Amino acid sequence: MKDIKVLGPGCVRCRKTEEMVREEAARLGIDVRIEKVTDYAAIASFGIASTPGIVIDGKVVHAGGLPSQDNLRAWLAD
């Protein structure tokens, strides 16, 4: 199971990013546990200045804007 954190205050892009992660994980048949991190101090602790951010198994893989489907697929399959 992959541990995924979606970092952001809950804006439209942050919610869309979470939805994209869920959909791609389902498409790939990968079990994921997704946690929304909305606390600014917690987000900053990952070194993220621009949201949404994605952290997979403790590693920051994305920050700022919507991720591409190709990148999501690669990050989840890794």
Residues carrying an active site annotation: 11, 14
Q: Please name the residue that has the structure tokens 């951010």.
A: 53
As beta bridge partners, residue 36 has 6
- Sign of the Cα torsion 8, 9, 14, 19 reads positive
